[in-house]
Structure 1
Amino acid sequence: MSPNAPFEPLRCAVVGLGSIGRDHAAILDALPETELVVGCDLDPTRRAVLPAEVPFVTEADAVLDRDDVDAVWVCTPQHLHRDLTVAALERGLHVFSEKPIAHSLADADAMIRAAERCSEAVLVVGHTLRFHPDFVVAMEAVAAGQVGVPIQLSARWNTGDHEGTVISGRTTVPLEMAIHDVDILRQIAGEVRSVFAVASTISPCGPGPDAVAGTLEFESGAVASLDHSWIMPSTTGMFSDHRLAVFGDRGTVYVETRPTPAQIFGPDGPAFPNTAYRQANPLIPGGALATADRHFVRTVKHGAPWPLTLADARAALAIALAMDRSIVERRPVEMREIEGER
């Protein structure tokens, strides 16, 4: 669509109104460039998260069969992504799929093939750290050579038990949380050769595992450590603890999302980019999730490139699946083992 074409908001549907679907729905209802035309969830009580004027249905087909939907946000549990995404693409609808792209590599490949067949429709996967300004600055600094060759990396993301008590046993820490960071680490250091992960046997939130530690070995020779959980007691008032560090032969990049933003220590000395969000209009949502949603509108309407490819999303899924296998089998897992199961 030409940038000079008459303005028409992208007509959007959200399928799956759990925590992330609820957030997308609120954003799409508030943005001037989108119109939330319908929400869907199997649980009829989720109707309450939608504005009163937005229709609510409990069957996905009731969304896909409407003639006033341009794009679908797939925010369902991971094992439902494939069928819904393929059905939407085959109807010519654009799809924003929440991460992970799917529950298995076979499902991910089916979705990618559907996107290739239905070339008029856009399929993207919402890895929100690709839109977080601190992580964008960190990746740009590495790409610009400010740290030299990445040698040792680390990523930590611990979130509150308000999430863990809901999803423990329904998904895994690698698929829900670590996948964000392994996508960024792979973007920085390249393809992963092998994975080793262990899980705590203490599970305060549910069936568990609720806390995972791991390592990645990259084809480049770099290594990374991972530290992820959803166990932080919400009663403490601290809901997120997120850090990224990249150590190279010329410098270092830090991202610490609690008290300080991105920090770069390169050959030209330290730098502290001002990446803080400024929300000038309180009626327009800000943050990485809203940035991703707005970028998707530009991708659909104007062809703006999405910051990660479907192959990137698939690779992050493969690494998370390797972490899950390593936890179960208590051994390092080569990535070629995961790829050999397709």
Structure 2
Amino acid sequence: MVGYAFMGAAHSQGWRTAGHVFDLPMRPTLAAICGRDPAAVRAAADQHGWAATETDWRALIARDDVRVVDICTPGDSHAEIAIAALEAGKHVLCEKPLANSVAEAEAMVRAADAARTRGQLAMVGFNYRRVPAISYARKLIEEGRLGTLRHVRVTYLQDWLVDPAFPLTWRLKREHAGSGALGDLGAHIVDLAQFLTGEPLVGVTALTETFVKERPVLSGATAGLSGTGGSELGAVTVDDATLFTGRLASGALASFEASRMAAGRKNALRLEINGERGSLAFDLERLNELSFHDHTEPAATSGFRRILVTEPEHPYLEAWWPPGHALGYEHTFVHQARDLVEAVATGTDPVPSFADGLQVQRVLAAVEDSAAKNAVYTPVPQPAHSPVPRPSHTPVPQPSETHASGNRA
């Protein structure tokens, strides 16, 4: 794994736990973790169970005991590391958003397509797909329980930037993060809308705003989510919030809001989908629940009902606790690790793919373009065969040589 901060800790939890919960065809082994600060990466390795450390990602991907490279770095390094790892014969998991630009994402898709012919797989880490209630919502939509879809509305609100004295971290610099709330939070809700509906967004109308345009420059070398700001101020070069509407390929309408300036909201992701036959609603703060309304029932007794998504027949839950025993945020990374290990073992395409990540990147670029033109409707470019976020079961060629470490992912 490259990177060891917030996402590094979450991914480590997933890799460390998946083989202890699910009956996997391969057992993940935490071979090596990489970071530029030797002391910090050693501490992360000790805390999270990694066997070795590296301070140069090039040395990491050159290791014979590494088969999967997990990228948890800021977006400006995703493309370089992912492409090099694929060319080195490794499978790749890359955190969202896939890249900082459409051009970088396109290069990553080309590398992934070439690597696939050699048996290497590539997946982008949209972990909220792995919330059992969200996966179950998708199943209900695929079964036609909502009928023709008409409306999708999604919001993702946080408040960690409300204080203007919060320091200028890497997430507030365009050259590192690519965008602000748009890429950090908006990428998730765009992916969820496309994943749940099985349709791409084909056009958007958007507004973005940076409310605090200068923040204290961090003292020392730290550039994480927290730190001590000095008296010097630096420019914030990304958005604090974004608001946009969109149209799906079928004609259904969608609305999105992402903000890191919503006072009182810590990690409030909410969605609702309305169709001709019913509706679904989800709130991440109640992530074991799904609200479902069947509009075909008699009006006198119909209404939204609560589905407690903890039954063994619900997605991912066959290996966890008895019904009614809730799961949490960290379990999405366990499910993500399980899905990638099974894809590697069986030679099937993992989802979401780099092509799915590129589709999200195209939407984000269209949002920025529309906002720059003061909310002008902006089409989202579509490839000849637009990626639809559904599972693929196409086998991929397996490496011709048996790996020296045996049955390990």
TM-score normalized with structure 1 length = 0.84
Return the structure number with greater relative CO, CA threshold 8 A, min gap 6.
2
Deviates more, 1:28-37 or 1:65-74: 28-37
Which whole-Å CA distance do the structure 2 matches of 1:205 and 1:55 have between them?
39
Partner of 2:154: 155
Partner of 1:186: 194
Instruction: Find the partner of 1:231 among 232, 239, 261.
Output: 261
Deviates more, 1:158-167 or 1:242-251: 158-167
3-state SS in 1 of match to 2:308:
coil
- Structure 1 residues 273 and 215, CA, compared in 2 at 3 Å: closer, same or farther? same
Aligned-pair CA distance for 1:232: 4.7
Asked if the contact 1:198–1:213 (Cα under 8 Å) also holds between the matched residues in 2, the reply is: yes
One-letter amino acid of the structure 2 residue matched with residue 173 of structure 1? A
Greater strand share, structure number: 1
Aligned-pair CA distance for 1:305: 4.8
**Matched positions, count:** 322
Structure of greater Rg: 2
Asked if the contact 1:130–1:307 (Cα under 8 Å) also holds between the matched residues in 2, the reply is: no
- Structure 1 residues 160 and 50, CA, compared in 2 at 3 Å: closer, same or farther? farther
User: Structure 2: which 5+ residue stretches go unaligned?
Assistant: 20-26, 216-235, 311-316, 323-328, 384-409
Aligned-pair CA distance for 1:98: 1.0
Deviates more, 1:256-265 or 1:78-87: 256-265
One-letter amino acid of the structure 2 residue matched with residue 193 of structure 1? V
- Structure 1 residues 173 and 290, CA, compared in 2 at 3 Å: closer, same or farther? same
Query: What's the CA shift string for 1:214-264, capped at 9, x where partnerless?
Result: 11122322111111112355xx6x621111101112211111222472111
Instruction: Find the partner of 1:322 among 353, 359, 366.
Output: 366
Instruction: Find the partner of 1:272 among 306, 314, 324.
Output: 306
Which whole-Å CA distance do the structure 2 matches of 1:45 and 1:215 have between them?
46
Partner of 2:29: 35
One-letter amino acid of the structure 1 residue matched with residue 90 of structure 2? L
Asked if the contact 2:122–2:353 (Cα under 8 Å) also holds between the matched residues in 1, the reply is: no
Asked if the contact 2:121–2:350 (Cα under 8 Å) also holds between the matched residues in 1, the reply is: no
Aligned-pair CA distance for 1:93: 0.7
Partner of 1:134: 133
Asked if the contact 1:175–1:321 (Cα under 8 Å) also holds between the matched residues in 2, the reply is: no
Partner of 1:49: 44
Asked if the contact 1:318–1:335 (Cα under 8 Å) also holds between the matched residues in 2, the reply is: no
Which whole-Å CA distance do the structure 2 matches of 1:168 and 1:88 have between them?
27
Which whole-Å CA distance do the structure 2 matches of 1:253 and 1:205 have between them?
40
Asked if the contact 1:154–1:226 (Cα under 8 Å) also holds between the matched residues in 2, the reply is: yes
Partner of 2:250: 220
Asked if the contact 2:71–2:92 (Cα under 8 Å) also holds between the matched residues in 1, the reply is: yes
Asked if the contact 1:189–1:218 (Cα under 8 Å) also holds between the matched residues in 2, the reply is: no
Partner of 1:257: 284
Asked if the contact 2:14–2:331 (Cα under 8 Å) also holds between the matched residues in 1, the reply is: no
Which whole-Å CA distance do the structure 2 matches of 1:162 and 1:19 have between them?
17
Greater helix share, structure number: 1
TM-score normalized with structure 2 length = 0.71
User: Structure 1: which 5+ residue stretches go unaligned?
Assistant: 1-13
Query: What's the CA shift string for 1:33-63, capped at 9, x where partnerless?
Result: 2111111122445312222663222211110
Partner of 2:172: 168
Aligned-pair CA distance for 1:334: 2.2
Asked if the contact 2:34–2:53 (Cα under 8 Å) also holds between the matched residues in 1, the reply is: yes
Aligned-pair CA distance for 1:138: 1.8
Q: Is 1:202 the equivalent of 2:211?
A: yes
Which whole-Å CA distance do the structure 2 matches of 1:45 and 1:228 have between them?
36
One-letter amino acid of the structure 2 residue matched with residue 16 of structure 1? G
**RMSD (Å) for aligned C-alpha atoms:** 3.0
